[in-house]
Structure 1
């Protein structure tokens, strides 16, 4: 008689983002302002998650903390297995460059640089000798292969945001952070940009953290959470 052994349990991967009692306060003339008042949230690798909330609810502050662009005043934040509180400003910048792509509502392109030069910036900072070639290919993937030498002022708003998407995805990030990426675009252009963003995330297997006030846009994500008054509602 053959004895069947139980199957070994498949080890679960830790979440790519883990927030525990995350807090952010700032000092103002009228006293302390509590922006985030204790956020607990896990985001799994490859997940797409929409963060909803009204203006001033703390959702953009949450993204800034995850990106390491701001320091939490309380709680713990771990991204890709790294405790961000242990990193100084330079180390957070290097970590961001290696792990993340970020797309903001404002395109944040360098006006004196061409599209391909803008996309090549993070690749050059990472020491990639093929930065220009990779940047050009990234622009072709977003439909801008014919705009490589154009500067931001020569591009439409939708084209500028596609340059920003190419710049975010060119280094191959594990995590894509998007803060109201269609906020400066008309509805038709915004839909095209979001279709592209989701396609690129799917192709790259990247985790998406999307900040938005639009429930229809958030519903395209696999999960949505809402922040109100600095807390998960």
Structure 2
């Protein structure tokens, strides 16, 4: 394993990152030489057309997808040096993830869903911390409810509480409001930013919503697997065009 980067260094460092995937039509170059550095505590919005590689880049940062070539260092760790067990520990200890689809376990209550990563981390106080997390997102009265008994906004707040439960240094959010109406989505987003700010968590947010991206301290635009602009002026953001042939 390479020496970890300094705590004062970037939390994400991607160098000449390439990812090629096989398809029925032949190899597809999804990422084409990504170079990106994200400082600790920064909030970064990732924008770009569908098929530009945004979600794939997030999967690589989370250690859920291995690049074909290139350097991936996250939270001081060289992800290429980790086996699958090591990557699982890396995610457990450093990363929270929020998806557009809430990914809650239907047979578990809200508090049980939030407690899962804490139990995996061996926390004896898993359920106490899960209750605190749900109270922090305004769901202290919904501890024993199952996902089917919760609204979409409530389910996403449970997912937020779960993502923050282990106090990750990095939160990755992929279209977290995509399944929510405007008012509910705005409430969830405010909670996410408030939690990230109060806990010093770095936030990387994938979105098609220019207003949401503009809330971040920096905006990165991907086009066709490459970074077209790593510091898009937030005042100049426009709705992202989605090509008909987008993956």
Q: Secondary structure at the match of 1:137?
A: helix
Is the CA contact (8 Å cut-off) linking 2:7 and 2:76 kept in structure 1?
no
Shift of 1:31: 1.2
Does the CA contact (< 8 Å) of 2:96 and 2:164 recur in 1?
A: yes
Matched, 1:111 2:106: yes
SS of equivalent residue, structure 2 residue 177:
coil
> Which stretches of structure 1, 4 residues or more, deviate above 6 A after TM superposition?
none
Q: In terms of Rg, which structure is larger? A: 1
Q: Which residue of 2 aligns with 1:8?
A: none
1:49 aligns with 2:67: no
Indicate yes or no: 2:26 matched with 1:31.
yes
Look up the match of 1:188: 183
Query: What TM-score do the two structures reach when normalised by structure 1?
Result: 0.94
Q: For the aligned residues, what is the CA RMSD?
A: 1.0
What is the aligned partner in structure 1 of residue 159 from structure 2?
A: 164
Match of 1:75 in 2: 70
How many residues matched? 223
- Separation in structure 1 between the aligned mates of residue 24 and residue 105 of structure 2, nearest angstrom: 34
> Paired residue for 1:100, among 85, 95, 99?
95
The answer to whether 1:218 aligns with 2:208 is: no
Normalised to the residue count of structure 2, the TM-score between the two structures is: 0.89
Q: For structure 2, which runs of at least 5 residues remain unmatched after alignment?
A: 1-5, 229-247
Distance 1:89 1:154, change over 3 A: same
Q: Unpaired segments of 5 or more residues in structure 1? A: 1-10
1:12 positional shift:
8.9
